[in-house]
Structure 1
Amino acid sequence: MIRTMLAGAALLLAALPVAAQNPQAALQARHDRALAAGYKALMLCSGMAIAERNGAARKPESVAAWELSGIQAPHDALIGALPFSIKRRPSGQISHVSVTWADDMPARVAGYFGPDTGCALLPIGADPEVSNVGSRMRPAAAPNPPGLPLLSNDAGLSARLAAPFARAFEGGFGQGTRTTATLVLTGDTLAERYAPGFNARTPQRTWSVAKSIAATLIGAAVQEGEANVDEPIGLNYWRSGGGSDPRNAITLDHALRMATGRYSDTPGNRTDPLYFGGSSVDETAINWPVLHKPGTVFRYANNDTLLAVKAIDNWLSFYPPHEFFAKLGMHHTVAETDSRGGYILSSQVWTTARDLARFGQLYLEDGKLASGERVLPEGWRDYVSRPSGPQPTTGTFGYGAGFWLMNKEPGVPADAFSANGNRGQYVVIIPSRQVVIVRRGEDPPGAGFDIGAFTREVLAALDN
């Protein structure tokens, strides 16, 4: 079945404004529309298909109201007018989403390739029905995953946390912020609250919380003896001139600590060609040049996480992320890939608040499951939360290995560390208090959620 939004189609096909007639400006405007269309196709595909995978439901209007509103420029001014269509398989499962962006080019297409890897954005012109988009992706109808993790809501805990939760949803921790979920886990009991239209099965994109998930998967590879953080990554196509390429000195530790010394185009390294352009991890993130000696300069960059994941790519082909998530009870989490099957673990994971609580709980237990099985090396929690590398020169957060450090936040225990993501995704882990705090949102640019203040108020409520 195809549903098509026609509103704004005339705007799409209209001539470029006078200001864009300059050749470079016209080219940039065209590129912006292509990226906006890719953004829309992927968000609609992932937001709807993964929700349905989880036994939830989302309509295009919901994705438009949350994931596709209040986004970064210039996409925010373009995305609403781009017509889209959703094609479903005979089973009713989403096949792909197409978004029209130019009258002389094929639509941007994001295809749903199965319950383990979700949706992938295809290169412009690729046909989702015939494309061989990677051996890790397989079209298949999938039953809903097992039930929710065995966590129980506690009425007393919910009452104690009612005030900070209410403030989170009312913008009390940042003007203009938009909270979709709050959750506090202590022991096996939790308190949670959701925005209308969201529930415990509704997935959202993690954005850079995925970097912490990537660091955890690398920890699992280390535990299995398949990786060593102190050894050079040593990708073969850097082996030129007798190994003289300085990038050969980059270790997994450098990449996890945002200290490879490589150039990145913008602070934070938006990586739009990969996220919304349809390129692959290899094409976009791997071959940037070195400007500083590895291990000497902090430069937060998606490319460093993608490089770290590339180092365990072979291991992931045998032990993919969904198998690790299942061990943790994270049955509603999907790590997506590019169109060639490369995991985009710098941003592109979809998960629920409860699954993020389970993720945090693994670190409270220092990498051991309730069964006693160790899935992360002993001391991995200390490793990822240790500021042993170069540190950010701005802000109040330090950086460990794939996690942010809250040791400078007043009123927050010194051992607190967190997974942080764009648009207000947070997982705060406090081992000394045996507490995990999750906040999810869709905050617009310039509307920052004060996770430090929220953490302080949650801890104060727990003490009452």
Structure 2
Amino acid sequence: MKCASKLLLAAALATTPAAAQDGDRYTRALAAGYKASFLCSDLFNAGQTVEQVERDDLQRTYASLEPLFPELKADIDRQARTVRVAFDETLPPRVAAWRPHLGCAQLPIGADPASASLLPRLSVDPAIDRSDRLPWPHGDQKAAAKPKGDAKALAEAVDDAFDRRTYGQGSETTAVLVVQNGKIVAERYRHDFDMHMSQRTWSVAKSISATLIGAAVQQGLIDVEAPAPVPEWQSPGDPRAAITTDQLLRMASGLHSDHAGNRTDALYFGGTAVTEQAVAWPLEAAPGTRWRYANNDTLLAIRGLRAKLEGEAKLAFPMTDLFWRIGMTRTVPETDWKGNFILSSQVWTTARDLVRLGLLYLNDGVWNGERILPPGWGDYVSRLGSAQPPAGGYGYGAGFWTFPKGSGLPEDAYIGRGNRGQYLVIVPSRNIVIVRRGYDGPGTGFDLDSFTRDLLAALE
């Protein structure tokens, strides 16, 4: 693995810009980073076209950044698999560069584009079978089965998910996949998608992170009830050293952050590193006493896991110890420029790979006779913590959500939920997994509760 710490930072800085100009410049830097990152990942992870990216991932996004996208020109090098987006006369362009199995990483603002050659790379490169010759669920042979229930009602509900009105006015569905008793009983994609085209998971990555922590627990690498092994918190007297991995997974760390929810702009689009930003926030509440949804908590749980790994495993663990073992061969977790996984959001995956994750939980953490997660890990991630979101809404376990009480949905169901309409629904009592992917925009949410109710009714 090449050392990312040798990245060269450009020294060209404006001398005395006004504060307003600085703010505008930083916003332009973020917008350029956003455009470079999504173009890079969608082109080289997912195989999408530039037109698709401009229509979907660069539309209906952040109000402060989206108006700038058209004027920021992207320079795409398909041979080198890099994207450069210029944003300022005095600084180099923002750069995102692709690497096998690790996807795209952004260079810091001001970095020399040549520094892309120094980004961390994975030396493990197995011959992954993506030929579709293997049967479902280990591979991607087409595997439609007749549902147990009302096939017509099931088909109608799936069709309605794509009509942009039944489950949300203006919603934009790209994929729906339903598995019953381990068999695919419904699968549909938007006209320009297929089963191999991936999308960003957004916060469904938090559910993936909880699963990776489970794999580490099974191997004896992590004790979730023990203090999280975050190296930056180990100075004598640091009160954050007492925060447990369980509290991080449950959004109950008590840490302050500038934004709750999914706004981690400096990391996602600004090219900073997890070990520069996420580790630096102070406490503002006693750990375990307050629920606050924050990307940093998930990032810190994975930072702690990385600290327990050695050598190549620091980069290879998600693939070698989870994804490739259960057939998630088209799932790409991305890193920052220092090699820290951005596993709060930045994972590209397919609908079929997400269903495989759900099947792992339905099988109590066992895949093809091999135990990957501890027994009962599904019960752990779906069990509500003592600190919860406001009453009346969705509940929160450890990286997974639960449906609101009184929703009429199975009480044992749990959910991976992500921005723009990414959903993974696991229903153990019905042996059903549901995945819906989309590009919903602000104010155009998808009604997951009604959709899930209709699917389950059809599969009675």
Contact 1:149 1:330 in 2 (8 A): no
Letter in 2 for 1:441: G
Deviations 1:311-343 (A, max 9, x none): 110425175212220111111100010011110
Match of 2:38 among 22, 33, 43: 43
Aligned residue in 2 for 1:100: 86
Aligned residue in 2 for 1:346: 344
**1:144 shift after superposition:** 7.5
Work out whether 1:58 is the aligned partner of 2:56: no
Q: Distance in 1 between matches of 2:246 and 2:340?
A: 21
Work out whether 1:176 is the aligned partner of 2:181: no
Work out whether 1:203 is the aligned partner of 2:198: yes
Alignment of 1:60-459 (within 5 A): 60-89=50-79, 94-114=80-100, 116-131=101-116, 133-137=118-122, 145-147=130-132, 148-149=139-140, 152-154=143-145, 159-171=152-164, 172-190=166-184, 191-240=186-235, 243-313=236-306, 314-315=308-309, 316-317=313-314, 319-323=316-320, 324-369=322-367, 371-393=368-390, 396-406=393-403, 408-459=405-456
Relative to structure 1, is the Cα distance of residues 105 and 130 closer, same or farther in structure 2, using a 3 angstrom cutoff?
Answer: closer
Contact 2:201 2:422 in 1 (8 A): yes
Residue range with higher mean Cα deviation, 406-415 or 278-287: 406-415
Letter in 1 for 2:104: C
**1:444 shift after superposition:** 0.7
Q: Distance in 2 between matches of 1:142 and 1:130?
A: 28
Equivalent pairs counted in the alignment come to: 429
Contact 2:225 2:244 in 1 (8 A): yes
Contact 1:396 1:409 in 2 (8 A): no
**1:160 shift after superposition:** 4.0
TM-score (ref. length: structure 1): 0.88
Q: Distance in 2 between matches of 1:366 and 1:150?
A: 24
Deviations 1:70-119 (A, max 9, x none): 11111121112211111122xxxx520111212222111100122x1011
Relative to structure 1, is the Cα distance of residues 413 and 275 closer, same or farther in structure 2, using a 3 angstrom cutoff?
Answer: same
Letter in 1 for 2:357: F
Letter in 2 for 1:427: L
Contact 1:113 1:140 in 2 (8 A): no
Relative to structure 1, is the Cα distance of residues 159 and 121 closer, same or farther in structure 2, using a 3 angstrom cutoff?
Answer: farther
Q: Distance in 2 between matches of 1:130 and 1:380?
A: 41
Relative to structure 1, is the Cα distance of residues 441 and 394 closer, same or farther in structure 2, using a 3 angstrom cutoff?
Answer: farther
Aligned residue in 1 for 2:14: none
TM-score (ref. length: structure 2): 0.88
Q: Distance in 2 between matches of 1:126 and 1:422?
A: 29
**1:135 shift after superposition:** 3.8
Contact 1:84 1:99 in 2 (8 A): yes
Deviations 1:8-39 (A, max 9, x none): xxxxxxxxxxxxxx943332222111111101
Contact 1:427 1:436 in 2 (8 A): yes
Deviations 1:260-299 (A, max 9, x none): 0000112215111110001111112112100111000000
Relative to structure 1, is the Cα distance of residues 143 and 427 closer, same or farther in structure 2, using a 3 angstrom cutoff?
Answer: closer
Q: Distance in 2 between matches of 1:140 and 1:326?
A: 11
What is the alpha-carbon root mean square deviation over aligned residues? 2.2
User: Unaligned stretches of 5+ in structure 1?
Assistant: 1-21, 52-56
